A and B are shown apart, each in its own frame.
Chain A
Amino acid sequence: MFYREAGQFKTNYVSDSAIFPLREDRIGIGLIIAAAYALAFLGNDFLLQAVMIPFLIFSLASIGLNILTGYTGLLSLGTGAFMGVGAYACYKLMTAFPDVNVIVWIFVSGFFSAAIGALFGLPSLRIKGFYLAVATLAAQFFLQWCFIRIPWLVNYNVSGALDAPLRTFFGVPIMGPNATPQTRYLLVLTIVILLTWLASNLVHGRIGRMWIAIRDMDLAAELMGIRPLQTKLLAFAVSSYYCGVAGALLVFLWYGGAEYDVFNINQSFFILFMVIIGGLGSLIGSFFGAALIFILPIVLGIVLPAVLSPFGISVGSDTIEHLRFMIVGALIIFFLIVEPHGLARLWQIGKQKLLVWPFPY
């Protein structure tokens, strides 16, 4: 009723190719962003620290993988390792140059990850599909090996772990134990919004269309004058950049300290599941996927005991954990059966239905 195309005329090409052609959508996205910022002041520490910050970070990593897997059609199992490169690069940079603001280093660390990603993307020119997945798996194992074996990466720390030193931004601590969840949340949120905006412009523009052309049929794309090598490597580089920044955020703005094991193969799968559940080739899908895979288990962990205890059923923490696994697993299968193209497609269908509501057509 309120969500109508009627009366909104497109009078030039710019408005015709806008990402959000509908006024309602633009208002909606503005409201969501405003609400996200308001949450910093309304939410409690648990919501910010244990739910929202990791959710945003995983969304960013999913966007990274989505650029590679969803938009360019190159399957990668090295996400965890590329995140690790970003985290270790950020650690080296900020300990070597402590006077430069750490926000700069978070953005710069992504470039190291991009370079490594492009290097491991080289085989993508010759191999595709599962074969490429195996090649990126090699990246995962090799980089993880480096994280363990090169003590230089952690400045010869005895504990072998990364830890977030105290860093400030105009006198306000933004990193380290003294940084409040609020400031860290605001920082993560701003970075994620900025990079999502950038990604949205990339995938909707010339570069994005090149990626999509390669994904849909690389031979045809080549005949049309798209260079496969440059395009694929660019996809690897951009994807790894996002993953690298996400990795730096993960260690320094969420955990505050971590071992190499955070960037293991499970992390890669975790992100890949988010992308598949959320929807391949969709930015909003990356957020949905992260929400379903990461937030849902937390919500279940809180809701299940609350639901069960009034019935006099007290369940142990381990039973809750098993239940979480079962319910999340069942939901993943359910969503994939209902909509094989992921939650993003469901969202799109919902919006289309809403446009014509109350009529079915």
Chain B
Amino acid sequence: MSFRKLSLGLAAATMLAGTAVPAFAQDSIYVPLFTYRTGAFAGSGTYIADGMHDYLEMLNQRDGGIGGVKLVLEECETGYDTKKGVECYESVKGKNPVLVNPWSTGITLPLIPRASVDKIPILSMAYGLSASARGDIFPWVFNPPSTYWDGLSMIIRYIGEKEGGLEKLKGKKIGFIHLDAAFGKEPIPLLQELAKDIGFEVALYPVAAQDMQNQSSQWLSARRDRPDYMIMWGWGSMNGAAVKEAVRSGYPMDKFYSVWWPSEDDARAGGAGAKGFKMLNWHAVGTNFPALQDIQKHVVDKGLSKSPKDKVGDLLYNRGVYNSLLIAEAIATAQKITGKKAVTGEDVRRGLENIKLDPARLKELGLEGFTEQLVLSCSDHNGHRPAFMQEWDGAKWVKISDPIEPMTDRVKAQLDAAAKDYAEKNAGWPKRTEPCDKAS
């Protein structure tokens, strides 16, 4: 009997809690932040969560929000788990979020078809479905500033330049160690195409998600194959383990390149031997910017942040800041276009399409030199921005190159094929009905 009561009580509580969505005042903008401070990926997720939260909180504290409208921030813990991510999405959907950032490719995929139905734009910053860069097919999905194909072509171009020209890569062997999931496998077709055209050899080393922390067999194979270069596509604990194994197996670290996801902690995992490890990046590290100093002053010093003070300005913290910079800029742009104060998801979609972060605007925001300029448009939801190479000097990341341009023509071919493929496979994929704004 007690059980019947208990279950009734539980059911009632669920229904009550489900319906009692806090009503927000009209003069606020609800920004949910999907974060993961728990689980296998917390090591990366915590910094990003802090960076995202602190930048927006700083706008609240310093300027009273954006355009005078306060931002209501709410974190939802996903644990990088698709189940919980979808649950988070459902729980925030009713509160009129202006956009969502899933921070996981696995969570992004189920949300992509829903975005246009629920009128909630998705900002998957340099992850998710690369094909969603095509604004004409995915009007509600945004993945700036670069796709993984852009990233790979930049690494190959950089290596080629070091060798003295792309054609010098002929006959070389390039190892590709990647997470064995959609994310890690995405660049492979482009890598193979480049291998065929330039004439280098590719050796693939897939790492299954459950073996991320144990890569001895992959690195043993790498030792046998002796690739001239290693390129890594990993996330979470895979990066740190790879650096450690690379050092242990004596791989020359200055020939080890990674896409933009390793953190300081990952490089530190290799100890002193990790010196020379290189990765792509598109924004600065450190706190030497007025906006970041404002974060310290208005958020961290007031105890409003969960971040330890010395972690502010770390690579992944600033990645979170960059994500929030895009959120804030999208909202500000939406306010400018529509003239409304409290914007909705539909407005922010237009805001994202009209983002124009040029050096002047960055200076205005207190982030001069923080990143390259980014201009999105109706058809281009990515920007395909160049990134630079940075090297681990044993204690911190050092920028070692100018921005490297992606191989746009090749990336575009991949992109168009993938987008067409997606729309074809999903029979009945809606045609874009949202009108384009005139370039302002």
On chain A, the residues within 8 Å of B91 by CB distance are: 46, 50
Interface pair A259/B82, CB less than 8 Å apart: yes
Interface pair B10/A317, CB less than 8 Å apart: no
Asked if A129 is an interface residue, CB under 8 A from chain B, the answer is no
On chain B, the residues within 8 Å of A264 by CB distance are: 209-210
Interface pair B18/A317, CB less than 8 Å apart: no
Interface pair B181/A256, CB less than 8 Å apart: no
* Chain A: interface size category: 35 or more
Contact of B428 among A176, A254, A343 (CB under 8 A): A176
Contact of A295 among B10, B209, B418 (CB under 8 A): B10
**Which secondary structure dominates chain A's binding surface?**
helix
Interface pair A50/B181, CB less than 8 Å apart: no
Contact of A317 among B2, B77, B182 (CB under 8 A): B77
Per-position binary interface string of chain B over residues 167-197, scored 1 when its CB falls under 8 Å from any chain A CB and 0 otherwise? 0000000000000111001100100000000
A95 vs B424: C-alpha distance when bound (angstroms): 11
Q: How far is the CB of A61 from chain B (nearest CB, A)?
A: 13
Asked if B94 is an interface residue, CB under 8 A from chain A, the answer is yes
Interface pair B18/A320, CB less than 8 Å apart: no
Stretch at the interface among B108-116, B290-298, B311-319: B108-116
On chain B, the residues within 8 Å of A261 by CB distance are: 82, 106, 181, 209
A352 vs B7: C-alpha distance when bound (angstroms): 18
On chain A, the residues within 8 Å of B208 by CB distance are: 148
A31 vs B120: C-alpha distance when bound (angstroms): 38
Interface pair A259/B86, CB less than 8 Å apart: no
A262 vs B114: C-alpha distance when bound (angstroms): 19
**How many residues on the B side are at the interface (Cβ–Cβ under 8 A)?**
58
Asked if B226 is an interface residue, CB under 8 A from chain A, the answer is no
Contact of A51 among B1, B3, B18, B76 (CB under 8 A): B18
**Which secondary structure dominates chain B's binding surface?**
helix
Interface pair B427/A258, CB less than 8 Å apart: no
Asked if A49 is an interface residue, CB under 8 A from chain B, the answer is yes
Interface pair A255/B113, CB less than 8 Å apart: no
Per-position binary interface string of chain B over residues 1-26, scored 1 when its CB falls under 8 Å from any chain A CB and 0 otherwise? 11110010010011101110000000
A27 vs B110: C-alpha distance when bound (angstroms): 39
Query: Which B residues from 395 to 431 make CB contacts under 8 A with A?
Result: 417-418, 421-422, 425-428
Interface pair A177/B180, CB less than 8 Å apart: no
Interface pair B422/A159, CB less than 8 Å apart: yes
Asked if B131 is an interface residue, CB under 8 A from chain A, the answer is yes
Asked if B432 is an interface residue, CB under 8 A from chain A, the answer is no
Given contacts A98-B427, A259-B109, contact A45 B93 (CB under 8 A): yes
Contact of A350 among B3, B82, B83 (CB under 8 A): B3
Q: How far is the CB of A93 from chain B (nearest CB, A)?
A: 14
A128 vs B259: C-alpha distance when bound (angstroms): 47
Asked if B75 is an interface residue, CB under 8 A from chain A, the answer is yes
Q: How far is the CB of A50 from chain B (nearest CB, A)?
A: 4
A296 vs B180: C-alpha distance when bound (angstroms): 33
Interface pair B3/A347, CB less than 8 Å apart: yes
Interface pair B90/A46, CB less than 8 Å apart: yes
A322 vs B38: C-alpha distance when bound (angstroms): 8
Stretch at the interface among A76-84, A104-112, A161-169, A224-232: A161-169
Q: How far is the CB of A169 from chain B (nearest CB, A)?
A: 14
The chain A residue with its CB closest to the CB of B46 is A318
Q: How far is the CB of A32 from chain B (nearest CB, A)?
A: 10
Given contacts A45-B94, A49-B90, A295-B14, contact A166 B109 (CB under 8 A): no
A159 vs B189: C-alpha distance when bound (angstroms): 12
On chain B, the residues within 8 Å of A100 by CB distance are: none
Which 7 residue pairs spanning A and B have beta carbons closest together? Answer: A318-B37, A50-B90, A177-B113, A160-B182, A302-B17, A317-B77, A166-B428
Give B contacts to A, CB under 8 Å: 1-4, 7, 10, 13-15, 17-19, 35, 37-38, 74-77, 79, 82-83, 86-87, 90-91, 93-94, 105-106, 109-110, 112-114, 116-117, 129-131, 180-182, 185-186, 189, 208-210, 306, 417-418, 421-422, 425-428
